[in-house]
Amino acid sequence: MNVLFLCTGNSCRSILGEATFNHLAPAGWHAMSAGSKPTGKVHPRSLALLASEGISTEGYCSKSWENLPAVPDIVITVCASAAGETCPAYLGPVLRTHWGVEDPAHATGTDDEIDAAFMKAYRILRARIEAFFALDLDVLKHDKAALKAEMDKIANIIV
């Protein structure tokens, strides 16, 4: 099953989601990420955070949703609609859910405060991904409505 983490810039949240998902994923599950208007580079703080968590950063890059290596089965948007961001709408017959997370790329303040914003985004995404993998995915992948309902519930996890 292919999961796409989708946002606008594909430099922070979607990269954090993709890398964390792939780090934790059981066999048969794979994540990718993309943006509707990719920045063209992964934010250095995203890479530093992933490395500090023991998650490989090799091969991750900011890319357009027009250049996906595979067709996704599930699309998870991570834009923070509460912040007035418009999430891109992936077209196609896929299961969709929204796991909004504030964009740490827009954090301001001291280095420690900015690092804390990146860590908060990572912890929220990791908690949601761990909750996803705690589901009975062998059963749910055959019941799209039940899987969507569970993924929508996961969106409410805040750490």
User: Which residues are marked as active site?
Assistant: 7, 79, 87
Q: Which helix (H) or strand (E) holds 6?
A: strand 2-7
Degrees (nearest 5) of the Cα angle 155, 33, 58? Answer: 120
Task: Show the CA angle centred on residue 21, arms to residues 20 and 27, nearest 5°.
Answer: 130
Q: Which residue has 């067709």 as its token pair?
A: 71
User: Cα torsion at 37, 35, 84, 128 (round to 10°)?
Assistant: -170
Token pair in block for residue 61: 């890059």
Q: What phi and psi values does residue 77 have, to the nearest 5 degrees? A: -85, 145
Q: How far is CA 154 from the centre of its chain?
A: 13
Q: How many CB atoms lie within 10 A of CB 147?
A: 22
